Amino acid sequence: MMSIVASLTESNLFAWGILPALIFLARICDVTLGTVRLIFVSRGFKYLAPVAGFFEVLIWILAIGQIMQNLSNWICYLAYAGGFATGNYVGMRVAEKLSLGIVLIRIITQRGAHALVDRLRKSDYGVTSLDGEGAAGPVQVIFTIVPRREVGAVVELVKAYNPKAFYSVEEVGFVERGVFPIKKDCRFIGLERFLRPFRKGK
């Protein structure tokens, strides 16, 4: 068995096919973990961030170690760079799927926004509205703080009731009390319950 493994690792197939593929996959994994680690850091998951960082660096060391042992193999260079690029894309998709954290949605509209405010409140979103003055005249400013996974639903309501309204979405580090919608997606309910004990200050 050992002789078969040794002969395989010394073959051209391993050097120019299998090894680059492994490096490519390793880079995807470590860059994706790096993205997830940054999310954990920004969301305050102080215990999960080091765990993700440990495996991120471990996989990177294994990948770069193979590069250093095969400096004459240019395919490995391409696999390393390609894995890094692909890992960034995969990491962003994973970040979108996780949908962790709380965001502030600020809506500014020149039209009367009473219908929009009422609809948001009926959907169990906490809403604060203020009268303001914009460049073109009086405006109404609406604030609501929602879980990140709810951003799409709120934006759809804004476009339906005030399609020309200006809105922005900002990260919120910490909130206390407030009104939040009932969680509708059981996948994220389970994920948040699992991660809650690892969050800073929780």
Structure confidence at residue 10 (pLDDT) = 58
Structure confidence at residue 103 (pLDDT) = 85
Helix/strand/coil for 45: coil
In order, the DSSP letters of 49-90 are HHHHHHHHHHHHHHHHHHHHHTTT-HHHHHHHHHHHHHHHHH
Domain ranges across the chain: 2-98, 102-171
Provide the residue type at 55 as one letter: F
Structure confidence at residue 7 (pLDDT) = 53
Kindly indicate whether the domain formed by 102-171 is annotated with CATH number 3.30.70.120: yes
**How does pLDDT run across 29-51, given as a tens digit for each residue?**
999 999 989 888 877 778 889 99
Confidence of residue 188 (pLDDT cuts 50, 70, 90): very low
Structure confidence at residue 113 (pLDDT) = 80
For residue 197, give the DSSP letter: G
